[in-house]
Amino acid sequence: MRIGVLAVQGAFVEHERILTKLGAECVQLRKNSDLRQEFDGLVLPGGESTVQGKLLKELSMFEELREKIVQGLPVLATCAGLILLAETLEHSSECWFRTLPVTIRRNAYGRQLGSFSAQGRILGLPDQERLFPLEFIRAPYIAAIGKRLNNDKVQPIAQIAKMPDGSEGQNIVGVRYQNQIGLAFHPELTKDYRCHQLFLSLC
Amino acid sequence: MSTENRWELNKALAQMLKGGVIMDVTTPEQAKIAEDAGACAVMALERIPADIRAAGGVSRMSDPKMIKGIQEAVSIPVMAKCRIGHFAEAQILEAIEIDYIDESEVLSPADDVYHIDKTAFQVPFVCGAKDLGEALRRISEGASMIRTKGEPGTGDVVQAVRHMRIMNSEISRLVSLRKDQLFQAAKELMVSYELVKYVHENGKLPVVNFAAGGVATPADAALMMQLGAEGVFVGSGIFKSGNPSKRANAIVKAVANYKDAKLIAELSEDLGEAMVGINEQEIELLMAERGK
């Protein structure tokens, strides 16, 4: 199995390391000609979404990758990757793929001082009752989830009790919609490979 | 939150900056230009290193109001510099919720013996290093990101190259040692056995390592990346050049595709005047010698 990993900026090596350990082959996507290789799944890693979004367009990968996602290519998107997939961003007119019907607030927990770690259950993982380590680094917040005309709903797969304003409440930090997995945290920074296993099972 | 956990979170932010370019900016307008050009973070400071060098005198932490203006202007992380050993300046930067503090040799050192105890802070620190010993000593003090010192404000990449090569060869040497030689290596490097053991086993620093100091062109950035830098700081090189926006964008793309000479050739066309630069032999003040 071959996975295309967006490699224009961010923590893509961390994803590759895990995917390789799980037996997948990775190809780095840095420019348009890299898209000529065949791949069965796509990883959009953590990093800075503004940089990645800009380079996706300027290095001529945006349209083709978007088309692949729309056609059903499985995607694992973490943090900045989730922002790239989102249909709407709060306080911003700029959006990228818009293939995942969610509304995202960027840097929802504030600056680096607001970064935190937690644990949670993630639906659909192997051994799903076992808690998964969740790392939130200047993380985005899934403010709302929508649905499309075909009635295929966005499924929340991970929640935590901490809201951006510090109050109690169920905060969605991971979703699944058709072929797309969008996570506000960073499974690539942990030694728990189950999110990547779930992703590979879709590819 | 435990110190250990905080360090992990802070180290992780540096991982997210990898493959990116961090640019020195002095105004909110410059910060916006940098963000629009593709910077993954900005370094807010009153004067860029070339001007600090030209002006002479004591160089200090920037006005918090100016830093806040930059924080409001952009959504990417904002870093700022404090003087080596000046933990009160660092406390101020933490109080305004800076994303990363650079305990930097570019400013005048406030303490000629001690660096800041960075484990006492919640915010992350990046520190300069010109060899493996310096890097590991900064990490043991709590730094969660390392950069080469290079020679800031010169537009001359030679020292960043030297520091990166020294670091790489010292890492290779540690990897090649027998386990029973590591204790002596730790003594020589003046660092803990645990850190030496980590490098021996992993063949790399336990934190992200960027290039900094003298990077002025897309080719400079590609050179540093091919030498093993995980990202690049560009200081005076951008806003001291003829067309900052274009040059900044070209350097960002060169870092993303640092092995693609054909693309970098295109990126290097028509960038306008590069910063003038000072050669190594003409430098009167060696900032890299500050803080070992």
What's the pLDDT score for residue B61? 95
Which is nearest to B38 in space by CA: B61, B60, B53, B19?
A: B19
Which chain A positions have a beta carbon within 8 Å of B9's beta carbon?
112, 115-117, 135, 137
What's the pLDDT score for residue B52? 83
* Mean pLDDT calculated for residue range B106-119: 96
3-state SS class at A103: strand
What value of ipTM does the predicted structure carry? 0.93
Q: What is the DSSP string of B146-198?
A: EEE---TTS--THHHHHHHHHHHHHHHHHHHS-GGGHHHHHHHHTS-HHHHHH
* Mean pLDDT calculated for residue range B207-212: 97
pLDDT by residue (tens digit) across B214-236? 999 999 999 999 999 999 999 88
Picking from B49-58, B225-234, B272-281, which range would have the lowest pLDDT averaged per residue?
B272-281
pLDDT by residue (tens digit) across B81-93? 999 999 999 999 9
Q: Is the model's pLDDT at B209 over the cut of 70? A: yes
Query: How would residue B287 be classed by pLDDT, with cut points 50, 70 and 90?
Result: confident
Q: Is the model's pLDDT at B165 over the cut of 70? A: yes
Cα separation, A7 vs B19, in Å, equals 8
- By C-alpha distance, the chain B residue nearest A9 is B19
Q: Kindly report the number of other CB atoms within 10 A of residue A120's CB atom.
A: 16
Interface test with B, best of A112, A117, A134 (most B CBs within 10 A): A112
Query: How would residue A164 be classed by pLDDT, with cut points 50, 70 and 90?
Result: confident
* Mean pLDDT calculated for residue range B101-114: 95
Picking from A68-77, A175-184, B117-126, B154-163, which range would have the lowest pLDDT averaged per residue?
B154-163
Q: Is the model's pLDDT at A149 over the cut of 60? A: no
A158 contacts: CB under 8 Å, gap ≥ 6: A120, A121, A122, A123, A132, A134, A172, A173, A174, A183, A185
Contact (CB<8Å) A138/B98: no
Contact (CB<8Å) A11/B16: yes
Check which CATH number belongs to the domain holding A90 and give it: 3.40.50.880
Q: Is the model's pLDDT at B2 over the cut of 80? A: no
Which chain A positions have a beta carbon within 8 Å of B78's beta carbon?
111
- In this structure, what token pair is assigned to residue A85? 């997939």
Cα separation, A126 vs A128, in Å, equals 5
The whole-chain average pLDDT of chain A stands at 93
Picking from B41-45, B174-178, B199-203, B279-283, which range would have the lowest pLDDT averaged per residue?
B279-283
Contact (CB<8Å) A59/B16: no
Query: How would residue A103 be classed by pLDDT, with cut points 50, 70 and 90?
Result: very high
* Mean pLDDT calculated for residue range A107-134: 93
Cα separation, B105 vs B118, in Å, equals 16
A151 contacts: CB under 8 Å, gap ≥ 6: none
- In this structure, what token pair is assigned to residue B280? 């190594």
- C-alpha distance across the termini of chain A, in Å: 8
Domains in chain A, number: 1
Q: What percent of chain B has pLDDT over 70?
A: 97
Q: Which residue among A48, A50, A113 places its CB closest to the CB of B123?
A: A113
Length of chain B as a residue count: 292
Higher pLDDT, B37 or A93: B37
* Mean pLDDT calculated for residue range B66-72: 97
Contact (CB<8Å) A138/B17: no
- By C-alpha distance, the chain A residue nearest B15 is A11
What's the pLDDT score for residue A151? 63
What's the pLDDT score for residue A150? 61
What's the pLDDT score for residue B273? 80
Domain extent for A46: 2-202
* Mean pLDDT calculated for residue range B196-208: 98
The whole-chain average pLDDT of chain B stands at 93
Q: Is A196 a catalytic residue?
A: no
Distances (CA, A) of A9 to A17, A110, A130, B44, B230: 16, 22, 32, 21, 10
* Mean pLDDT calculated for residue range B260-273: 94
